[in-house]
Amino acid sequence: MPRGLLVCGFGVCACLRLWAQAEAVNAPEPGGRLAQWDRLRQKKEEEIRAPERKGLEKALYRFKEEHVMERLAAGWRGVHLVFGGLQTGSGFALGAEFRQERLARGIVDLRVGARGSLHAYEKWEFQIGMPRLHNEHVFLDFTATYRNYPQSRYFGIGPRSRKADRTNFRLEDTTYLGSLGLKWKRWFRVGMRGGIIAANTGPGTDSRYASTETVFRPSNTPALDFQPDHYQVGAFAQMDWRDEPGNPRSGGNYLVQWNLFGDRNQSLYTFRRYEAEFQQYVPFFNRRRVIAFRARTSLTDTSPGQTVPFYMMPTLGGSEDLRGFREFRFRDKNLMVYNLEYRWEVFSGLDMALFGDAGKVFGNRSDFSLDKLEGAYGIGFRFNQAKAVFLRIDLGRSREGTRIFFKFGHVF
């Protein structure tokens, strides 16, 4: 035991000696540079304090850490607050939407929503879809929509309708629509759809303007007095190879579709609609500049004795096509519109655009020509996130004045 103690004692002494030597080696030379730095470190040690966030830093830190944006986007238990989404002129619109994706073993998406506006517009939707069938090559979708738009704008039919003839009417419709399609690659879709549309119109509630039925007659406004129910069958094909659909800089999007709308009541309002849209994006200067072009047409074919209800005619004017004119300014059985934009990047968060729009509505397909197009031009500001435009401000000018549009999302 004493021998063991002796050995331990020697061991401890040796360790202490080594430690002391090591300390001596590490000790800074008095009056030396390291001694100066050592003093500074000792001084700082006396004043040590934990880093803390204040003011804006604290707020931004919490904003990120609490995932505020993601929570807003994700909603509460699948319920999301939704803004807008109604027709232009509806006033401030707000609603709620319940969304659940990947239900039933991951194949079913569900969406149920309702929204209303200050001018008493309302819209109810139910959608159930299976967008990922057969390894995402097959999609199936069913949508039921109820709309009640009490101040829909109507200026009359045809290219010569007058701005001063603005009226308003209530459009109330319910649509049940199913679609089935195939998807090849990531950019090609083809499919068919079918459904039922039940519509009513009534007096408009915007007291600033006359109600439509007080100015127009069924003779110049088809189906003003009676609104038939329709069935719809159709087919479509789309080739979409845009790089970023939310803010495309290259590629194209081409869509053709055909739909038959059959009058279920009187067989007076049966028509066929052929629609085509061509979008092309030509980038240059490292995609910081883009020429964007869109051509769109909607042609309606009716058998003798048949016509198209005024509220189902394609419309022209507003933020999506003929900027510089009011929304729904023109309507007729046929439509053609061209948009050309020169877009340039100001900085990562903002693109600007110079645009020119031209288009017309027409009653006879023989008028399908570039004659007598209405024109508009203007400048736009597009505020971007990483891959999409989240706010668009377009200032458009036409022979009818200047319009400014605030819109979420891109124009096309």
Partner 1 sequence: MCSERPIHRSGERLVLALLVAASAPAQKFLPDDPIARDPDDRHIAAPRRYKLSDYYDFLQNSFGSPGDRKPRTAMNINTLGEVPDSSWFTNRHGRRRLSIEELVRGPDRGTGPAPGPWKVLRGKNEGITPGFSLIEDSRGERYAIKFDPPGNLEMATSADVLGSKFFYAAGYHVPENYIVYFRPEQLELGPDAVITDTLGKQRKMDRRDIHELLNRVARAPDGRYRAVASRILAGQDMGPFRYYGTRPDDPNDIFPHEHRRELRGLWVLAAWLNHDDSRAINTLDMLVNENGRQFIRHYLIDFGSILGSGSTSEQKPRAGYEYLWEPGIAFARMATLGLYDRHWIRIRYPVYPSIGRIEGDHFRPEEWKPEYPNPAFLNCLPEDAYWAAKIVMSFTDEEIRRIVAAGRISDQQAEDYLIGVIIKRRDKVGRYWLNAVNSVDRFQIQGDRLHFEDLAVQYGFAGRPAAYTAAWYRYDNERDRKTPMQVSQEAAGPPLVIPAEARTAGDALYFTVQIRRKVEGGARIPQAVHVYFRKEPGGLKIVGIEREE
Provide the binding-site residues for partner 1, judged by CB under 8 A.
26, 28-29, 31-45, 48-51, 53, 56-57, 60-61, 63-67, 70-71, 74, 106, 285-289, 342, 344-350, 352, 354
- Taking the least distance from each CB to partner 1, the nearer of 14 and 233 is 14
- Taking the least distance from each CB to partner 1, the nearer of 61 and 368 is 61
- Tell me the closest approach of the beta carbon of residue 354 to partner 1, in angstroms: 6
- Taking the least distance from each CB to partner 1, the nearer of 354 and 404 is 354
Backbone angles phi, psi at 173, to 5 degrees: -145, 155
Rounded distance, CA 245 to CA 286, Å? 18
- Tell me the closest approach of the beta carbon of residue 407 to partner 1, in angstroms: 20
- Tell me the closest approach of the beta carbon of residue 373 to partner 1, in angstroms: 24
- Tell me the closest approach of the beta carbon of residue 70 to partner 1, in angstroms: 5
Q: Annotate 14-48 with b (16+ C-beta within 10 A) or e (fewer).
A: eeeeeeeeeeeeeeeeeeeeeeeeeeeeeeeeeee
- Tell me the closest approach of the beta carbon of residue 264 to partner 1, in angstroms: 44
- Taking the least distance from each CB to partner 1, the nearer of 290 and 313 is 290
- Tell me the closest approach of the beta carbon of residue 34 to partner 1, in angstroms: 6
On whether the CB atoms of residues 174 and 198 are closer than 8 A, the answer is yes
Rounded distance, CA 351 to CA 9, Å? 79
> Nearest CA to 245 among 136, 381, 388, 119?
388
Report in angstroms the alpha-carbon separations of 183 from 13, 188, 235, 238: 81, 6, 14, 10
- Tell me the closest approach of the beta carbon of residue 39 to partner 1, in angstroms: 7
- Taking the least distance from each CB to partner 1, the nearer of 282 and 350 is 350
- Taking the least distance from each CB to partner 1, the nearer of 72 and 118 is 72
End-to-end CA distance of the chain: 92
The token pair at 381 is 């500001």
Q: Annotate 156-183 with b (16+ C-beta within 10 A) or e (fewer).
A: bbebebeeeebbbbbbbbbbbbebebeb
Rounded distance, CA 94 to CA 119, Å? 11
- Tell me the closest approach of the beta carbon of residue 335 to partner 1, in angstroms: 30
DSSP state of 76: B
- Taking the least distance from each CB to partner 1, the nearer of 36 and 265 is 36
Rounded distance, CA 366 to CA 384, Å? 42
Rounded distance, CA 182 to CA 138, Å? 5
Rounded distance, CA 317 to CA 400, Å? 11
The token pair at 395 is 């200032």
How is 316-346 classified by DSSP, letter by letter?
Answer: E-STTS-BTB-TT-EE-SEEEEEEEEEEEEE
Within 8 A by CB and 6+ apart from 20, the residues are: none
- Please give the single-letter amino acid code of residue 171: L
The alpha carbon of 21 is separated from its chain's Cα centroid by a whole number of angstroms, namely: 73
- Taking the least distance from each CB to partner 1, the nearer of 352 and 395 is 352
